[in-house]
Amino acid sequence: MTMGTKFSGVMRSLVSAIIMLVLAIIGFFITVFVVDTGAGLAGFSPEANYVILSATILVAAAVLAGGKE
């Protein structure tokens, strides 16, 4: 392998990791909105800590499931 091939692989991995991180953050905000809205429609008024916790668990599970090849 040449140095250019190795560098290309590293750059591809870095860009992929950055894109996955950005998508996870966007997914987190959307999940917070969905969890909060769903709780409101169900007549619950959860504290912000529980909304964040549930959204974090959902997004982490989705990222881990999507990261498998």
Tell me the pLDDT tens digit for each residue of 42-54: 999 889 899 899 8
Q: How many helices (H) and strands (E) does the chain have?
A: 2, 0
Is this structure's pTM higher than 0.75? no
Residue 46 tokens, joined = 């959860």
DSSP label at residue 45:
-
Q: What is the pLDDT of residue 7?
A: 79
What are the extents of the domains in the chain? 18-66
